[in-house]
Amino acid sequence: MTDYLIDTNHLSPLISEGHTLRSKLLRQNRLGDSFGIATPALVELLYGIRILPRARQNLEEWRQLSVVFTYHSIERRDAEQAASLQIELRRVGWQLGIVDALIGAVALRYDLTLLTTDKDFARIPDLKVENWLSASGNLNG
């Protein structure tokens, strides 16, 4: 069993009922994997699905699917960790946005594997990352 945290780029396709990522997530959940969402990713998702013409349908799909997830609020230690990550990566010439830094900090705090397509996360030390939307399924290979 694996405990995952989901970035927005993996959340958005889940709203489409027939998307293969949705099927895989629900199957893995039935097999015992758990899935979480950090507050910044939830905000990005809700904003994104509510500005589209299909807002009402999107929200209904989300309400049905939302019960699968654990929700992780941002705590002070996450903010401190996120700032440290940004500083550390900036020193080696890499920019990490605030939202990504917060998501990374939550994944590290709970020792979660992050599902994302964003290669910026691969630069965060000790962060486990997978990409279920790529052919290989792994950001690092």
Give a yes or no: residue 137 inside a domain. no
Region of 30 on the Ramachandran plot (φ > 0 left; ψ -120 to 50 alpha; else beta): alpha
What letter would DSSP give residue 41? H
Give a yes or no: residue 29 inside a domain. yes
Give a yes or no: residue 18 inside a domain. yes
What digits encode the pLDDT tens for the residues 111-124?
Answer: 999 999 999 899 99
Residue 140 in this model has a pLDDT that exceeds 50 = no
What CATH number is given to the structural domain containing 32? 3.40.50.1010
Query: Which amino acid belongs to residue 102?
Result: L
Give a yes or no: residue 136 inside a domain. no
Give a yes or no: residue 17 inside a domain. yes
Give a yes or no: residue 135 inside a domain. no
- Other beta carbons within 10 angstroms of residue 72's beta carbon come to 23
What digits encode the pLDDT tens for the residues 32-69?
Answer: 999 999 999 999 999 999 999 999 999 999 999 999 99
Give a yes or no: residue 139 inside a domain. no
Give a yes or no: residue 59 inside a domain. yes
| Structural domain harbouring 77 | 3-130
Would you place residue 17 in the very low, low, confident or very high pLDDT band (cuts 50, 70, 90)?
A: confident
How far is C-alpha 82 from the chain's CA centre? Answer: 15
Q: What is the full DSSP assignment across 22-70?
A: HHHHHHHHHTT-EEEEEHHHHHHHHHHHHSSTTHHHHHHHHHHHGGGEE
Into how many domains does the chain fold?
1
Distance CA 133, CA 137 (A): 7
